[in-house]
Structure 1
Amino acid sequence: MDEQRTWWKEAVVYQIYPRSFNDSDGDGVGDLQGIIDRLDHVASLGADVIWLNPVYESPQEDNGYDISDYRAIHEEYGSMADWERLLEEVHDRDMRLIMDLAVNHSSTEHEWFKKSRRDEDGYREYYYWRDGDVPANNWKSGFGGSAWEYDEEVGMQYLHLFDDSQADLNWDNPDVREDVHDLMNFWLEKGIDGFRLDVINLVSKPEGLPDGDPSQDWVGIEHFADGPRAQEYLEEMAEATYDDYDTMTVGECIDIDVETASDYVSPDGPMDMVFHFEHMLVDMGDRWLTPSEWNLTDLKAIVSHWQTELDGWNSLYLTNHDQPRIVSRFADDGEYRRESGKLLGTLLFTLSGTPYVYQGQEIGMTNYPWSSLDELDDLQSIGKVEEAIEAGEIDSFEEVQQIVRDRSRDNARTPMQWDDSENAGFTDGDPWLSVNPNHDEVNVKQAEADEDSILHYYRDLVDLREDHEVFVYGDYTHLLPDHESVWAYRMELDGEAVLVTLNFSDTETSVTVDDAARTNDLLVANYDDAPTVTDANLTLRPYEARVHSLN
Structure 2
Amino acid sequence: MDEWWKRSAVYQVYPRSFKDSNGDGIGDIQGIIQKLDYLQELGIDVIWLSPVYDSPNDDNGYDIRNYQRIMDDFGTMEDFEELIEQLHNRGLKLMMDLVINHTSDEHKWFTTSPEYYIWRDEPNNWRSFFSGSAWEFDELREQYFLHLFSKKQPDLNWQNPEMRKAVYEMMRWWLDKGVDGFRMDVINLISKDPEFPDGPDGDGSVYFMNGPKIHDYLQEMNSEVLSKYDIVTVGEMPGATVTDAIQYTGKERREVNMIFTFEHMGLDQASGEKWDLKPLQLTDLKYNLEHWQNALHNKGWNSLYWNNHDQPRVVSRFGNDMEYRVESAKMLAACLHFMQGTPYIYQGEEIGMTNVRFEGIDEYQDIETRNMYAEKSLQGVPHEKIMESIYVKGRDNARTPMQWSSEANGGFTTGTPWIAVNPNYSVINTTDKDEDNSIYQFYKKLIGLRKTMAIITQGDFTLLHREDEKVFAYTREIRDEKLTVYCNFSSDNHTFEMPEGELLVHNYESPKNTEKLVLRPYETIVFYKKF
AA aligned opposite 1:254: P
**1:17 equivalent in alignment to 2:4:** no
Is the Cα–Cα contact under 8 Å of residues 288 and 384 in structure 1 kept in the other structure?
no
AA aligned opposite 1:284: Q
**1:259 equivalent in alignment to 2:243:** yes
Question: 2 CA distance for matches of 1:398 and 1:545?
Answer: 36
Question: 2 CA distance for matches of 1:13 and 1:493?
Answer: 24
The TM-score normalised by the length of structure 2 is: 0.97
Which deviates further from its counterpart, 460-469 or 67-76? 460-469
Is the Cα–Cα contact under 8 Å of residues 12 and 47 in structure 2 kept in the other structure?
yes
1:240-251 matches, cutoff 5 A = 240-251=224-235
AA aligned opposite 1:34: G
**1:152 equivalent in alignment to 2:139:** yes
SS in 1 for 2:443: helix
SS in 2 for 1:423: helix
1:325-336 matches, cutoff 5 A = 325-336=313-324
SS in 2 for 1:235: helix
Shift of 1:540: 0.4
SS in 2 for 1:327: helix
Question: 2 CA distance for matches of 1:153 and 1:505?
Answer: 58
**1:65 equivalent in alignment to 2:65:** no
AA aligned opposite 2:449: L
**1:34 equivalent in alignment to 2:31:** yes
Is the Cα–Cα contact under 8 Å of residues 433 and 439 in structure 2 kept in the other structure?
no
Cα deviation digits, residues 426-467 of structure 1 (max 9, x gap)? 00100001100000000001x225321111111121222222
1:88-487 matches, cutoff 5 A = 88-115=85-112, 123-131=113-121, 136-214=123-201, 219-269=203-253, 270-286=255-271, 287-310=273-296, 311-390=299-378, 392-394=379-381, 396-445=382-431, 447-487=432-472
Is the Cα–Cα contact under 8 Å of residues 512 and 518 in structure 2 kept in the other structure?
no
Is the Cα–Cα contact under 8 Å of residues 171 and 204 in structure 1 kept in the other structure?
yes
Question: 2 CA distance for matches of 1:466 and 1:206?
Answer: 43
Is the Cα–Cα contact under 8 Å of residues 131 and 156 in structure 1 kept in the other structure?
yes
Question: 2 CA distance for matches of 1:259 and 1:469?
Answer: 26
Shift of 1:539: 1.5
Question: 2 CA distance for matches of 1:459 and 1:89?
Answer: 21
Question: 2 CA distance for matches of 1:189 and 1:260?
Answer: 31
Question: 1 CA distance for matches of 2:60 and 2:418?
Answer: 11
Is the Cα–Cα contact under 8 Å of residues 340 and 458 in structure 2 kept in the other structure?
yes
AA aligned opposite 1:250: V
SS in 2 for 1:381: helix
Question: 1 CA distance for matches of 2:70 and 2:517?
Answer: 54
Is the Cα–Cα contact under 8 Å of residues 373 and 397 in structure 1 kept in the other structure?
no
Cα deviation digits, residues 506-547 of structure 1 (max 9, x gap)? 1111235xxx44x1210010001124644xx42200000000
SS in 2 for 1:523: strand
Cα deviation digits, residues 364-400 of structure 1 (max 9, x gap)? 000001211111111111111212223x241x43331
SS in 2 for 1:15: strand
AA aligned opposite 2:218: L
Shift of 1:129: 1.2
Question: 2 CA distance for matches of 1:296 and 1:399?
Answer: 25
- Equivalent in 532, 536, 539 of residue 518 of structure 2: 539
SS in 1 for 2:441: helix
Question: 1 CA distance for matches of 2:107 and 2:270?
Answer: 36
Is the Cα–Cα contact under 8 Å of residues 238 and 262 in structure 2 kept in the other structure?
yes
Structure 2: gaps (5+ residues): none
Structure 1: gaps (5+ residues): 116-122
Is the Cα–Cα contact under 8 Å of residues 160 and 167 in structure 1 kept in the other structure?
yes
Question: 2 CA distance for matches of 1:475 and 1:370?
Answer: 44
Is the Cα–Cα contact under 8 Å of residues 106 and 169 in structure 1 kept in the other structure?
yes
Aligned residues between the structures: 526
Aligned twin of 2:491 = 506
Percentage identity across paired residues of the two chains: 46
Is the Cα–Cα contact under 8 Å of residues 372 and 398 in structure 1 kept in the other structure?
no
AA aligned opposite 2:183: R
Is the Cα–Cα contact under 8 Å of residues 16 and 358 in structure 1 kept in the other structure?
yes
SS in 2 for 1:291: coil
> What CA RMSD, in Å, does the superposition of the two structures yield over aligned residues?
1.3
The TM-score normalised by the length of structure 1 is: 0.94
Cα deviation digits, residues 200-240 of structure 1 (max 9, x gap)? 000000021001111xxx71111100000001001101111
Cα deviation digits, residues 43-76 of structure 1 (max 9, x gap)? 1100000000000000011111000000110011
SS in 2 for 1:140: coil
**1:528 equivalent in alignment to 2:513:** no
